[in-house]
Amino acid sequence: MEDNKRELEKQLILLKKLKKRSDENLKKLKNAPEECIRTSSRGNFHQYYRKDENSGKRIYVNKKKFDEIRPIIQKEYELKVNKVINEQISILEKYIIHSNINAITDIYKETSNAKKAMITPIISTDEDYIKKWLASMPPCQNPYPPKRSFETMNKEISKSKSEKIIADTMFNMKIPYIYEPRLDLDNRITKYPDFVALNIKKRKTIYWEHLGRLGDADYCLDNFNKLMIYEQNGIVLGDNLIITMESNDIDLDIHSVYENINRYLM
């Protein structure tokens, strides 16, 4: 199960930046009085009133004095924002310190094997989830015969050296993946993505296409159509689809392989 601490830590960093900005704004407004400005509106027409300290009556503020009340209203806003930011920071800091979503799966992990055999866990362990995920899509289903073959560390026979590099990189980084499974899409369309990989933390399936012959116009057109079909079936670049490329003149950029793995699969 995904641990959301990283996302919460990112939110905490953002909140602390906002706090710093809000503190600076309040510092600039320190001389503005803490006074409640009353208002009334009709459409886009607004009226502003100050309170007379002696009589308690409302005093209308004309346009010439708007510069006097603007910092008062801004300070009122900044004080409210600052209070909420501090409250949210406190909540997040406490949650990040004390939360442990893995404590749920740890109960099953720490159970004896005899009892595990009798239990259906409320959350599958990563190991069980990976095992079922791998079993759901048999590998090496593409019937298209390879012109050349390269054996990967995971004992698949890939069709290109670059696909072997991608496969071996995922293997070394312990990313569960399946090479060229059969993918049945809408309208009885079948495709064979180069790789289907699993983001274990998010339990999210990611598709990976390596476009290796960008100098071939027919190849590019075929893959353009394939990407359109993918998008129509919810496989979208930047979300659950990775694309790497090369041509006769430009080799696969190994750095992009690592970057994509770190961005989408770690």
Higher pLDDT, 111 or 215: 111
Mean pLDDT score across all residues of the chain: 92
Averaged over 4-11, what is the pLDDT?
Answer: 84
pLDDT tens per residue across span 42-93:
999 999 999 888 888 899 999 999 999 999 999 999 999 999 999 999 999 9
**pLDDT score recorded for residue 80:** 96
Give the pLDDT confidence of 57-68 residue by residue, as tens digits. 899 999 999 999
Tokens of 70: 């603007």
78-94 burial code (b ≥16 CB/10 A, e <16): beebbeebeeebeebee
Answer for the pair 227, 191: CB distance below 8 angstroms, yes or no: no
Report pLDDT for 3: 59
- Does residue 1 surpass a pLDDT of 60? no
Is this model's pTM higher than 0.75 or not? no
Domain boundaries, the chain: 5-99, 137-264
Give CATH for domain 137-264.
3.40.1350
